[in-house]
C-alpha cells in the first residue's frame, strides 16, 4: 500500500492530470472486471495458500523490474508504471476473493460480522499509515528505492503464510471449467433475488462514485492548492473514520437488520461527498473537507463490511469463491466506464463538480435500494434462514 500511494503521488506531481490519474485507476480496475468471473473457479478449486503466495511473488518481480528500470534510466516510463499498476491489480483480483472465501472456513458463522469489522479495522490502520508514510517517503527517498518495499513486503507475507494452516474445502482439487464455473456463480447469484438487486445498485454506485474516489489527490492539490502531505492527510483522516466505524462493528456487530446500516452508509457518504463538491477553494474549505471525509470514512465499513458478512453467510464455502468472483466483477464493471469520462470532464469543468455529482448519485442509489422490498428486507430473511437449523 505504501508503494501504491507513492506511485499515485508520483503521477500526481509529475503530470498534474486528472486524465492520467483516471487512466491509472482504470488499469487498476480492469483485471477485477475482466478476470473476476473466472478467478472464482481457481479460488474454489486450487490450494488457497499457494494462490496467495504465487500472486505475492509476481507483484514482487514486477516491482523489482520497475525499480531496476528507474535506476538505469533515472526516470520511470509512464507505460511501465501503468503496467506495474495493472499487474498489481491482477494479483489483487486473485487475492481478494481468496481471503474473503477463507474467512467463513475459519470463523464461526455468528461471529462473521464482528470479525469482518475487526479485519476492516486492520485494513483501515493500513490505510492510515500507508498514505502518510507514502507521502513522507516519496519526499525523501528516491522512487526506485521506495518501490523495493514491495519486494520486502512479499518476502514478509510469504514467510507468514508458510506458517498458517488454511482449511481445505470439498471443491479443492476438482477440475476447473472456466466458463461453466462462471455461469454457475452467476446462476447462484441471480437466484438470490435480494442480493442480485443489491449488487446491481452497487454497480451503479460504483459507476457514480469511483470517478470522485480516483480524483482525491487532485482535489486536494489542484482545487484546494494543497501539498502532497495534505493529500496524504485526507487519506489518513478518511481511514481513521473507517477504523472507528470498523471498531464499532467489531464490538457491536450483531444487528438484527444490517441493511438499515447499509442504507445509512449510502446517505452519509452521499451527503459528505456531495457537500465536498460545493466547498470554497480556500484553507477554510479544506478544513471542512477534512471533517466531511472523517464522516464519510466512518460510514464506509457499514457498506463494505456488512454486505460482505451477509454474502459470506448466504453461500456454502465450496461455491463462495465462484459467487464472489462474479459479484466482484459486476460491482466493478461500471467503474472504468465512469472513469473514462471522469478525467476529461474534471479537466474541463473542475474536479469539485465530480464530487458533487458523485454525492447526489450516491444518495439516489440509497433511495433505490430502500425502495426494493426484497433488498430492503434481505438481512431479515437471511437471519431467519440461518436460525432454522438450530430449531
Res 83 pLDDT > 50? yes
Rounded Cα distance between 363 and 375, Å, is 16
Res 161 pLDDT > 90? no
> Domains of the chain (ranges plus CATH)?
1-172 (1.20.1250.20), 177-390 (1.20.1250.20)
Rounded Cα distance between 53 and 278, Å, is 45
Rounded Cα distance between 172 and 46, Å, is 6
Mean pLDDT of 69-77: 81
Q: pTM score, two decimals? A: 0.71
Report which of 213, 11, 7, 239 is spatially closest to residue 129, judged by C-alpha positions. Answer: 239
Mean pLDDT of 290-305: 90
| pLDDT-based confidence at residue 95 (cuts at 50, 70, 90) | confident
Displacement of CA 124 from its chain's centroid (Å): 11
Report which of 64, 54, 87 is spatially closest to residue 162, judged by C-alpha positions. Answer: 54
Angle between helices 112-140 and 78-106 (to 10 degrees): 160
Res 270 pLDDT > 90? yes
CA atoms within 13 A on the CB side of 176: 16
Which grid coordinates belong to 10? 508520483
What is the model's pLDDT at position 391?
Answer: 44
- Sequence-separated (6 or more) residues with CB below 8 Å from residue 51: 42, 43, 94, 95, 98
DSSP 8-state code for residue 141: S
Q: What is the pLDDT of residues 221-234, one digit of tens each?
A: 888 988 877 887 88
Q: What is the pLDDT of residues 188-239, one digit of tens each?
A: 888 888 889 998 898 888 888 878 887 888 899 888 988 877 887 887 888 8
| pLDDT-based confidence at residue 367 (cuts at 50, 70, 90) | very high
| pLDDT-based confidence at residue 370 (cuts at 50, 70, 90) | very high
Asked if 323 and 313 touch (Cβ cutoff 8 Å), the reply is no
What is the model's pLDDT at position 128?
Answer: 55
Please state, for a pLDDT cut of 90, what percent of the chain lies above it.
17
Res 55 pLDDT > 50? yes
Mean pLDDT of 157-184: 72
Classify the phi-psi angles of 173: left when phi > 0, otherwise alpha if psi is within -120 to 50, otherwise beta: left
Res 114 pLDDT > 90? no
What is the model's pLDDT at position 127?
Answer: 55
DSSP string for 46-115: S-HHHHHHHHHHHHHHHHHHHHHHHHHHSS--HHHHHHHHHHHHHHHHHHHHHHHHHHHHHS-GGGHHHH
Greater confidence (127 vs 27) lies with: 27
Please state, for a pLDDT cut of 70, what percent of the chain lies above it.
86
Mean pLDDT of the chain: 81
**Residue carrying the nine cell digits 438484527:** 256
What is the model's pLDDT at position 294?
Answer: 94
What is the model's pLDDT at position 110?
Answer: 66
| pLDDT-based confidence at residue 265 (cuts at 50, 70, 90) | very high
- What are the C-alpha distances in Å from 39 to residues 103, 204, 232, 315, 322? 17, 23, 33, 17, 7
Amino acid at each position: 500500500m505504501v508503494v501504491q500511494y507513492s506511485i499515485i503521488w508520483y503521477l500526481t506531481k509529475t503530470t498534474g492530470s486528472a486524465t492520467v490519474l483516471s487512466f491509472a485507476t482504470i488499469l487498476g480496475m480492469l483485471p477485477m472486471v475482466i478476470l473476476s468471473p473466472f478467478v472464482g473457479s481457481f479460488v474454489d478449486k486450487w490450494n488457497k495458500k499457494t494462490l496467495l503466495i504465487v500472486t505475492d511473488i509476481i507483484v514482487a518481480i514486477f516491482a523489482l523490474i520497475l525499480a531496476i528500470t528507474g535506476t538505469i534510466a533515472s526516470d520511470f516510463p509512464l507505460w511501465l508504471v501503468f503496467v506495474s499498476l495493472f499487474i498489481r491489480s491482477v494479483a489483487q483480483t486473485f487475492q481478494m476473493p481468496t481471503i474473503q472465501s477463507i474467512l467463513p472456513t475459519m470463523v464461526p458463522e455468528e461471529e462473521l460480522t464482528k470479525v469482518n469489522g475487526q479485519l476492516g479495522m486492520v485494513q483501515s490502520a493500513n490505510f492510515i499509515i500507508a498514505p502518510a508514510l507514502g507521502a513522507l517517503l516519496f519526499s525523501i527517498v528516491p522512487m526506485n528505492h521506495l518501490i523495493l518495499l514491495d519486494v520486502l513486503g512479499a518476502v514478509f507475507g510469504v514467510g507468514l503464510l508458510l506458517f498458517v494452516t488454511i482449511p481445505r474445502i470439498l471443491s479443492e482439487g476438482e477440475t476447473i471449467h472456466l466458463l461453466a464455473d462462471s455461469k454457475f456463480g452467476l446462476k447462484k447469484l441471480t437466484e438470490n433475488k435480494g442480493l442480485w438487486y443489491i449488487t446491481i445498485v452497487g454497480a451503479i454506485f460504483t459507476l457514480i462514485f469511483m470517478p470522485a474516489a480516483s480524483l482525491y489527490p487532485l482535489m486536494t492539490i489542484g482545487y484546494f492548492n494543497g501539498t502532497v502531505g495534505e493529500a496524504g492527510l485526507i487519506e489518513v483522516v478518511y481511514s481513521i473514520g473507517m477504523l472507528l466505524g470498523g471498531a464499532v462493528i467489531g464490538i457491536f456487530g450483531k444487528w438484527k437488520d444490517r441493511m438499515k446500516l447499509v442504507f445509512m452508509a449510502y446517505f452519509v457518504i452521499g451527503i459528505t461527498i456531495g457537500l465536498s463538491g460545493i466547498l470554497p477553494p480556500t484553507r477554510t474549505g479544506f478544513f471542512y473537507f477534512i471533517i466531511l471525509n472523517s464522516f464519510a470514512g466512518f460510514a464506509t465499513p457499514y457498506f463494505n463490511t456488512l454486505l460482505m458478512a451477509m454474502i459470506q453467510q448466504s453461500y456454502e464455502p465450496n461455491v463462495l469463491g465462484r459467487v464472489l468472483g462474479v459479484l466482484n466483477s459486476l460491482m466493478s464493471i461500471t467503474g472504468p466506464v465512469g472513469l473514462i469520462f471522469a478525467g476529461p470532464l474534471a479537466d474541463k469543468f473542475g474536479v469539485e463538480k465530480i464530487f458533487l455529482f458523485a454525492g447526489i448519485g450516491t444518495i439516489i442509489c440509497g433511495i433505490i435500494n430502500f425502495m426494493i422490498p426484497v433488498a430492503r428486507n434481505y438481512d431479515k430473511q437471511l437471519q431467519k434462514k440461518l436460525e432454522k437449523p438450530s430449531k
